[in-house]
Structure 1
Amino acid sequence: MAVVVPVHDEQELLARCLTSLTAAVGAAERAGVRVEVVTVLDACTDRSAAIADGFDVTVVEVSAARVGAARRAGVAEALRLLDPVDLGDVWIANTDADSAVPANWLTHQLTLMRAGSDVVLGTVRPDFADLAPAHAAYWRATHHRGRPPGNTHGANLGVRGSVYRAAGGFTEVPEHEDVRLVEAARALGAVVTASDVAEVLTSGRVEGRTPGGYAAFVRATAAQFA
Structure 2
Amino acid sequence: MGQCHHDKSKPLSYLDLGCGTSSLAGNILTNSPTPVLLVLLDFVSEALHYQKQYISTCTALIPESSCQLVCADVMFLPFGDGCFNIAVDKGTMDALLKDKVNGHSKAQVMMSEVRRVLAPGGRFLQISDEDPDTRLLFLEQLNKVNSSHVLTEQTTLDAQLLGDNCESFVGSTHCQTARTLPVSKQLSSWSFKVIPTSWNKEYFILWSDNHH
Q: Same fold (TM over 0.5)?
A: no
User: If each structure's helix is expressed as a fraction of its own residues, which one has the higher value?
Assistant: 1
User: If each structure's strand is expressed as a fraction of its own residues, which one has the higher value?
Assistant: 2
State the structure with bigger RCO (CA 8 A, min sep 6), 1 or 2. Answer: 1
Structure 2 length as normaliser, TM-score? 0.30
Structure 1 length as normaliser, TM-score? 0.29
